[in-house]
Amino acid sequence: MPSKLNINGRKVDVHSDPETPLLWVLRCELKMTGTKFGCGVGVCGACTVHVGKVATPSCQQTIKTVGNNPITTIEGLQGPQANALREAWTRIDVVQCGYCQSAQLMAASALIQGNPTPSLKDIDCAMHGIICRCGTYPRIRQAILEATGQLKRT
């Protein structure tokens, strides 16, 4: 019997074993490859999605543990905060190789949804679990600050 997941606002039947990590369901069964595989053991953050409103490493959740909680992936990330972040990301040219960047956007959007005026300390605290091997951290910080500044003005 398939399990039902709530992904990006849609109910989706999945046939993977209930103990399968969400990351593999997204990438292998559903072909949603915007969520990246880095370490598979919860230390790099590349696989970050939202479960509910919380930025969560999808390699550390199974179909069973996620249950009915709404899941948002980079493919479904939308709304004013996401748009402001994407615009700032582009304007500042944050991305280098790009591998970590969907996770960075997922973590940043979870942060500013809960805290519209984060300090540098808040940003570092929220983002520290997402490793960027290209070292784009200063531009990520700047983009988050610019996005929140723009949201405040609108």
For ligand FES, the closer of residues 46 and 55 by Cβ is: 46
Stated length of the chain: 154
Q: According to the binding rule CB under 6 A, does residue 24 interact with ligand FES?
A: no
- The residue with tokens 């748009």 is 83
Min dist. Cβ of residue 139 to ligand FES (A): 9
Rounded to whole angstroms, the Cα distance separating 136 from 115 reads: 22
Rounded to whole angstroms, the Cα distance separating 69 from 56 reads: 12
Answer yes or no: are the C-beta atoms of 103 and 95 closer than 8 Å.
no
Q: According to the binding rule CB under 6 A, does residue 136 interact with ligand FES?
A: yes
Answer yes or no: are the C-beta atoms of 143 and 94 closer than 8 Å.
yes
Site for ligand FES in 31-70 (CB under 6 A): 37-40, 42-47, 57, 59
For ligand FES, the closer of residues 7 and 89 by Cβ is: 89
Answer yes or no: are the C-beta atoms of 115 and 59 closer than 8 Å.
no
**Residue count at the site for ligand FES (CB under 6 A)?**
23
Site for ligand FES in 78-107 (CB under 6 A): 95-101
Instruction: Summarize as ranges the residues that interact with ligand FES (CB under 6 A).
Output: 37-40, 42-47, 57, 59, 95-101, 132-134, 136
